[in-house]
């Protein structure tokens, strides 16, 4: 009964999306004024129905209703409750239902609270959002029904991939989806503005919170996903340019460029065409990522290999949305006026330069991700990995970081480098000093040396916009900018340190024997069996001493899951202020020896600390922007009320 209720509410939500689209389109015509009052309520109710449908899916997973095909394929009764709940979106159909649920809720929220845009632009925006949603509703209802029944009902369900049975699963995918859907709302705003030819500061101010919110969630999602891959896969790395990793990074790059462009348009009425185009590109990258993950053309621990027919459906949606948006942009680009001009030496120009570098990086990553797919279609298999991505992206990222240090110090409209030359002496001197030290400590490692030199200089430059200010009066968006840029420096330092100074050791030792990795002495104290709710394991108890200090213990495991049957290596980490000891237990070797894989990774936690700081900076900026917008709306309403009373 719960499954039928979920399917019924999904059909009703799709019907309301169709009504929202038709009413929104008709309301834009001269004779369609009667439909204006239908659009916003349709969006609100649609979001509520989509939420009910998703809650029904969670319920059938919690109850382990094996008559539902999706539950039987992903959730045995012995699975812990947390993974039963997370299992609702750890599969193809459930993840797409999560997508439309978040999209419906976001559209409903926009319909409820957005009052800044002209009504015609708002109607066009909600119609565009309904158009995007309708395609995904059709995909779920006709190609990937999450509530499909199974007959006969199996005695037991199949298990979730053990690699996904981790707390990170409960956080990583929903966070990324919030980011993707936030960009879909930005896309709808861009389409609405193009349809009504209202591309200006009001449009940018309305779109900016959604872009900023999407960017925050994407940042957190990518950070969490990187850390999950780092500790769960047992390979000691945090990023391998996996196509599905790239699928989340590309929208983030586009959203970063869109965020800066949107801020310039909102504050200075410039970069109009940039803002609209990036709004289309950002959501296009989300769609490309969805196609890569959900089409089955990739084999990855992140991807859900499914029927290629579903991939064709997603590819068709991608062609319709992206092709249609680009066509609309081409038709209306001539109506998007240039906006205010600015000098080459100005903060606007710095943001344009950063946007160029971000889109250049995006292009490099997109090419490297899709190229193997094209060659494979012609019978040639090639691999594109770090040897391509690292140096090619560095071509754009290194100058972008230099501009990132200088740009916030420049004035709007027009400035001169002479004014900021003295201010930049400290980070410039730090750049040279740290570069020399890095050459001595990590000779021959070009990219890590550049990172180790740039990171401290960027960290200092990021706080220079606060100089000479009363810190109590600094606005939250400024604090957000400072923290986000400082977070970039922190992450960069962690990445460069890991690449330059990581030490690895692969050994086979008996119980009681000692080995070394970096400054650590590691003794295998014992091997003992342990059991979990749906797995058994052999656990190594390792006694670790840092430079002969008091021992601490770490417990890597080799687990065996039985639903489905699969072996996994569960790494164990010891974190100090200056790095992490990373330990993995391998198989038993000849002579009662046990394989151990050990890494000492200096300052590697700073990678994810920086990611959290970047997201926190975005949150501060979002809170500041929302507070400012609320004050502006309250002031406007007060003025309107006074005029109304005076008129009486």
For residues 79 and 141, membership in a common domain is answered with yes
Q: Return the pLDDT at 634.
A: 73
Task: Give the phi and the psi of residue 178 in degrees, each rounded to 5.
Answer: -60, -40
For residues 518 and 644, membership in a common domain is answered with no
Q: Coil, strand, or helix at residue 384?
A: coil
Q: Answer whether residue 203 is part of any domain.
A: no
For residues 571 and 611, membership in a common domain is answered with no
Contact 348, 270 (CB under 8 A): yes
Last residue of a domain, one of 84, 116, 149: 149
Q: Return the pLDDT at 106.
A: 92
Last residue of a domain, one of 149, 179, 214: 149
Q: Coil, strand, or helix at residue 580?
A: strand
Q: Answer whether residue 53 is part of any domain.
A: yes
For residues 635 and 574, membership in a common domain is answered with no
> What tens digit of pLDDT does each residue of 428-439 get?
999 999 999 999
For residues 531 and 608, membership in a common domain is answered with no
Q: Return the pLDDT at 176.
A: 87
Q: Answer whether residue 363 is part of any domain.
A: no
Q: Answer whether residue 137 is part of any domain.
A: yes
- Residues in Cβ contact with 511 at an 8 Å cutoff, skipping those fewer than 6 apart: 524, 525, 526, 527, 592, 594
Structural domains of the chain, count: 3
Q: Return the pLDDT at 212.
A: 95
Q: Return the pLDDT at 169.
A: 66
Q: Return the pLDDT at 436.
A: 97
User: What is the torsion angle, in degrees rounded to the nearest 10, for the CA atoms of residue 227, residue 232, residue 237 and residue 238?
Assistant: -20
Tokens of 204: 């940018």
Q: Answer whether residue 547 is part of any domain.
A: yes
Rounded to the nearest integer, the mean pLDDT of the chain is 90
Beta strands in 40-191 (DSSP E): none
Q: Return the pLDDT at 149.
A: 93
For residues 595 and 632, membership in a common domain is answered with no
For residues 475 and 585, membership in a common domain is answered with no
Q: What are 114's strand-pairing partners?
A: none
Q: Return the pLDDT at 330.
A: 86
Which DSSP helix (H) or strand (E) runs through 332? helix 308-332
Q: Answer whether residue 121 is part of any domain.
A: yes
> What tens digit of pLDDT does each residue of 166-175 get?
777 677 878 9
Q: How far apart are CA 505 and CA 516, in angstroms?
A: 8
For residues 468 and 537, membership in a common domain is answered with no
Tell me if the pTM is above 0.75: yes
Q: Return the pLDDT at 395.
A: 96
For the chain, the straight-line distance linking the first and the last C-alpha, in angstroms and rounded, comes to 58
Q: Answer whether residue 637 is part of any domain.
A: yes
For residues 495 and 625, membership in a common domain is answered with yes
For residues 480 and 624, membership in a common domain is answered with yes
For residues 61 and 131, membership in a common domain is answered with yes
Tokens of 636: 């406007």
Structural domain including 47 reads 1-149
Q: Answer whether residue 7 is part of any domain.
A: yes
Low-confidence ranges of the chain (pLDDT < 70): 169, 294-309, 563, 633, 637, 640-641, 644, 647-648
Q: How far is CA 304 from CA 142, 463, 565, in A?
A: 18, 43, 18
For residues 126 and 44, membership in a common domain is answered with yes
């Amino acid at each position: 009964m719960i499954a039928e209720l979920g399917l019924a509410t999904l059909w009703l939500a799709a019907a309301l999306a169709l009504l929202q689209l038709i009413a929104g389109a008709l309301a834009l015509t001269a004779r369609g004024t009667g439909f204006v009052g239908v659009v916003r309520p349709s969006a609100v109710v649609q979001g509520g129905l989509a939420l009910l449908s998703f809650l029904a899916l969670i319920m059938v997973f919690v109850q382990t209703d094996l008559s539902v095909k999706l539950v039987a394929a992903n959730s045995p009764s012995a699975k812990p409750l947390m993974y039963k709940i997370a299992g609702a979106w750890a599969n193809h159909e459930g993840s797409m239902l999560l997508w439309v649920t978040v999209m419906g809720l976001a559209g409903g929220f926009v319909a409820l609270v957005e009052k800044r845009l002209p009504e015609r632009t708002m109607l066009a925006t909600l119609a565009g959002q309904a158009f995007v949603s309708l395609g995904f509703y059709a995909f779920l209802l006709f190609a990937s029904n999450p509530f499909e029944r199974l007959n006969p009902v199996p005695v037991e369900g199949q298990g979730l991939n053990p690699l996904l049975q981790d707390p990170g699963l409960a956080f990583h995918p929903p966070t990324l989806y919030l980011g993707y859907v936030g960009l879909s709302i930005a896309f709808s705003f861009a389409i609405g503005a193009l349809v009504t030819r209202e591309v200006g500061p009001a449009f940018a101010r309305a779109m900016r919170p959604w872009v900023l919110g999407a960017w925050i969630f994407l940042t957190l999602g990518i950070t969490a996903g990187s850390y999950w891959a780092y500790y769960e896969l047992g390979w000691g790395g945090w990023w391998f340019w996996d196509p599905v990793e790239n699928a989340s990074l590309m929208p983030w790059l586009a959203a970063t460029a869109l965020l800066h462009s949107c801020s310039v348009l909102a504050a200075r009425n410039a970069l109009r065409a940039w803002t609209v185009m990036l709004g289309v590109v950002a959501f296009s990258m989300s769609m490309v990522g969805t196609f890569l993950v959900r089409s089955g053309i990739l084999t990855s621990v992140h991807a859900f290999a499914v029927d290629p027919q579903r991939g064709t459906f997603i590819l068709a949606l991608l062609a319709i949305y992206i092709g249609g948006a680009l066509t609309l942009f081409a038709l209306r680009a001539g109506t998007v006026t240039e906006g205010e001009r600015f000098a080459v030496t100005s903060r606007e120009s710095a943001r344009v330069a950063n946007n160029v570098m971000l889109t250049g990086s995006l292009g490099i990553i997109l090419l490297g991700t899709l190229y193997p797919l094209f060659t494979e279609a012609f019978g040639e298999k090639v691999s594109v990995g770090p040897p391509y991505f690292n140096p090619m992206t560095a071509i754009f990222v290194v100058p972008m970081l230099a501009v990132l240090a200088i740009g916030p110090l420049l004035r709007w409209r027009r400035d001169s480098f002479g004014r900021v030359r003295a201010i930049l002496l400290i980070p410039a001197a730090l750049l040279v000093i740290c570069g020399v030290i890095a050459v001595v400590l990590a000779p021959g490692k070009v990219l890590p040396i550049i990172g180790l030199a740039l990171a401290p200089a960027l960290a200092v430059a990021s706080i220079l916009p606060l100089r000479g200010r009363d810190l109590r009066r600094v606005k939250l968006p400024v604090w957000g900018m400072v923290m986000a840029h400082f977070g970039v420096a922190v992450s960069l330092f962690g990445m460069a340190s890991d690449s330059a100074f990581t030490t690895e050791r692969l050994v086979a030792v008996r119980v009681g024997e000692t080995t070394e990795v970096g400054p650590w002495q590691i003794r295998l104290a014992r091997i003992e069996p342990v059991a979990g709710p749906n797995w058994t394991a052999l656990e190594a108890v390792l006694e670790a001493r840092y430079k002969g200090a008091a021992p601490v213990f770490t417990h890597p495991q080799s687990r065996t899951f039985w639903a489905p049957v699969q072996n996994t290596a569960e790494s164990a980490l010891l974190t100090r202020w200056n790095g992490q000891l990373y330990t993995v237990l391998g198989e038993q070797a000849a002579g009662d020896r046990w394989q151990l894989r050990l890494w000492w990774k200096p300052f590697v936690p700073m990678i994810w600390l920086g990611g959290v700081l970047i997201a926190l900076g975005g949150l501060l900026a979002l809170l500041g922007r929302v507070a400012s917008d609320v004050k502006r709306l309250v002031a406007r309403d007060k003025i309107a009320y006074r005029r109304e009373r005076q008129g009486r």
